[in-house]
Amino acid sequence: MTELDGKNILLGVTGGIAAYKSADLVRRLRDAGADVRVVMTRGAEEFVRPLTYQAVSGNPVHTSLLDPDAEAAMGHIELARWADAVLIAPASADVIARLAQGLADDLLTTLCLATEAPLVLAPAMNRIMWAHPATQANVARLRERSATILGPGAGDQACGEVGDGRMLEPLELVAGLAALFPGTELTGTRVLITAGPTREAIDPVRYISNRSSGRMGFALAAAAARAGARVTLVAGPVTLATPAGVERVDVESAQQMHEAVMERVDACDVFIACAAVADYRVATPAEAKIKKQDADMELALVRNPDILADVAARQRPPFTVGFAAETHAMQAHAEDKRRRKGLDMIAANWVGRPEGGFDTEDNALEVTWEGGGISLGPKAKTRLAAELVDVVADRYRQKTAHAGGPA
């Protein structure tokens, strides 16, 4: 189950180059279990044909307020009542201005006035238009009326400029939308999660690291927060935005991650080790940049602390969930890790394969615990994370019920 399972999402698409991303957004929303109906403005039709959204949503696309056929199938008031949330992505400067004014001069703005569902906007425009005081005043006005604004992100723009104004990526929008429908499975629970890679310095400019993007761990943090938990995320060096409602602690090396976890572990009920922590670090990192020489060079490595094993070995450990990233004999290695480290649960995934693991949008997990297990995925990491959090919440409740209360 994810927070968007069975939810009716009305997706408004307005005129902007980011409209092409909204076809993928529809697919991602449907992956998350939502039923999606698309409303396009005339501007949007200049960029993408309605047929595209019809094909990906599996529903007719609505474009006009005065279309008798569309009104006969599902009238605009019916559509406004049907929606559990209205998401406008991309939201142009024009639609933001019209909504701020309370205009109802096309189907989309009329629906926004006629619905009681929450309104979520994903702005996308040139950085100067976004920064313009008129746009900022319109956005502030919509926020005052409880609209949620997701983004915009920063980066290269279609117009060739660089700055704030990019529409967030579809998976970020799905996560932001899901946050509107919080669950209660982990209410009152404190969850500590590690995510991302670590960097082990060789000298001031070089390091040893791995391919972890942090996506799986960040998706878990977002899912746990949506399930009602108080979440602390100890993150290695990644470029991801902090999920809503999550406390984030940034670290770089395995030793720093170990320290950050150990400082917080006694105050948590559930610990999930999703980070790809370097098992070794350079014995003596050079203080100055190492100069190239004719001779080959050897690096002496020493073992890093095992954060997961140290957490599980506490006198009163939290409910402890490990990950296992394997390139062969996945189940056997994962089971060995679970038993050897004394874990409550382990989630095993393949790495080094195109279909999942490191730096991919989708993944699949073989989750096991003493006497049981479940296969999850393959699917988007956001959805997979929500399912894993459900399983963790269930097993954690069972464990605490047997032990007579939380640790």
Instruction: Catalogue the active-site residues.
Output: 159
Q: Which is nearer to ligand PMT, 105 or 359 (CB)?
A: 359
Told to check if 276 binds ligand PMT by CB under 6 A, we report: yes
Mask for 230-259, x = binds ligand PMT (CB under 6 A): ------------------------x-----
Q: What angle do CA 78, 172, 233 make, to 5 degrees?
A: 130
Binding of ligand PMT at residue 325 (CB under 6 A)?
Answer: yes
Burial 74-85 (b: 16+ CB within 10 A, else e): eebeebbebbbb
Closest-CA residue to 284 (of 197, 199, 208, 201): 201
> How many residues are given for the chain?
407
Using the contact rule CB under 6 A, the part of the chain among 45-53, 294-302, 303-311, 394-402 near ligand PMT is 303-311
Interface with ligand PMT (CB under 6 A), residue from 52, 304, 320, 368: 304
Q: How far is Cα 348 from Cα 366, in angstroms, rounded to an integer? A: 5
Total residues contacting ligand PMT (rule CB under 6 A)?
29
Q: Phi, psi (5° rounding) for residue 364?
A: -140, 145
Among 12, 183, 214, 377, binds ligand PMT (CB under 6 A): 214
Position among 192, 274, 386, 393 found at the interface with ligand PMT (CB under 6 A): 274
- Would you list the DSSP string of 197-263? B--EEEETTEEE-----SHHHHHHHHHHHHTT-EEEEEE-S--PPPPTTEEEEE--SHHHHHHHHHH
Region near ligand PMT per CB under 6 A, out of 44-52, 169-177, 270-278, 281-289: 270-278
In the list 212, 232, 253, 382, the residue contacting ligand PMT (rule: CB under 6 A) is 212
- Find the shortest distance in angstroms from Cβ 389 to ligand PMT: 14
Integer Rg of the chain from CA? 24
191 is a site residue for ligand PMT (CB under 6 A): no
Residue 186 touching ligand PMT (CB under 6 A) = no
Is-contact 20 97, C-beta < 8 A?
A: no
In the complex, minimum distance from the CB of residue 356 to ligand PMT, in angstroms, rounded to a whole number: 8
- Please report whether residue 275 would count as binding ligand PMT according to CB under 6 A: yes
307 contributes a contact to ligand PMT by CB under 6 A = yes
Neighbours of 357 (CB within 10 A): 21
In the list 355, 359, 370, 394, the residue contacting ligand PMT (rule: CB under 6 A) is 359
Note whether 308 and 322 are within 8 A (CB): yes
Give the residue among 222, 246, 12 at the shortest CA–CA distance from 117.
12
Neighbours of 365 (CB within 10 A): 27
Tell me: does residue 174 bind ligand PMT (CB under 6 A): no
Residue 10 contacts ligand PMT per CB under 6 A: no
State in angstroms the smallest separation of the CB of 308 from ligand PMT.
3
d(CA 207, CA 270): 31
* Nearest distance, CB of residue 305 and ligand PMT, angstroms: 6
Establish if 350 lies at the interface with ligand PMT (CB under 6 A). no
Residues that bind ligand PMT (CB under 6 A): 194, 196, 212-217, 254, 273-277, 279, 304, 306-308, 322-325, 337, 349, 351, 357-359
